[in-house]
Amino acid sequence: MGLFDQILGAVANPNQQGSMSQLGGIINAVQQMSGNAGTDSSTMQTIMSIVGGQVRSALQDKQANEGPDAVQNIVSQFAGNSPNPDAVSSLFSAGMQQQVAQMASQRTGVDANMIQQMLPMIVPMVLNFLQSGASTSGGGGNSVLNTFLDSDRDGDVDIADAMRMASQYIGR
């Protein structure tokens, strides 16, 4: 089952944290960020996909080194729709932040400094998507996070696709 299917399942399941208002908040925040940056939605989706891929790699490394609880703790602590530099620094060193911004800049033509300034907004939104699969009672794992981390590693990160589908699903 794909990431978006897991997110929809979390929205439909009262025992998971996903909700239509959560998806709507994420979509609104992405649209606002795109407008503030002067980029079109396609460019923003590419940036989100690249950053999402790097978030996945960082979370996979954390899971391998510190275990799944450490990963869920990061997601729980930093998921949101507001800028949070601590979310970025919890996953990426300063040098890695520059590399992520440079990688996204090369693919999109958007200035790397602008992308680096967007990271404190993008990373919490990616984590917010992943939080949707967490149990409302605090236990029982996180199906969305597990799907994200256990993906087929084909290089295709589903975050941008999931955001696009969520936007279509809720009619925005």
Compute mean pLDDT per 10 residues along the chain, 172 residues long, and list them: 76 87 86 89 89 93 91 94 95 96 95 96 93 81 83 54 67 64
Give the model's pLDDT for residue 155. Answer: 43
Give CA–CA dist 52/129, Å, rounded: 10
- In this structure, the number of other CB atoms found within 10 A of the CB of residue 108 comes to 18
Contact 80, 127 (CB under 8 A): yes
pLDDT given for residue 148 in this prediction: 84
Strands (E), the chain: none
The structure's pTM equals 0.85
Structural domain harbouring 94:
3-169
User: What counts of helices (H) and strands (E) characterise the chain?
Assistant: 9, 0
- Residue 119, pLDDT score: 97
- Angle between helix 112-131 and helix 68-78 axes, rounded to 10 deg: 110
pLDDT of residue 158: 59
Alpha-carbon gap, residue 81 to 26, rounded angstroms: 6
The 8-class DSSP code of residue 16 comes to B
Task: Give the C-alpha separation, 52 to 17, whole Å.
Answer: 20
Quote the tokens at residue 97. 């932040």
Query: In the prediction, which pLDDT does 9 show?
Result: 85
Q: Which long-range contacts (CB under 8 A, 24 or more apart) does 30-33 make?
A: 30/125, 30/163, 31/172, 33/118, 33/121, 33/122
Output the pLDDT for position 172: 60
- Neighbour-count burial of 153, counting CB atoms closer than 10 A to its CB (0-12 exposed, 13-18 middle, 19+ buried): exposed
Number of domains in the chain: 1
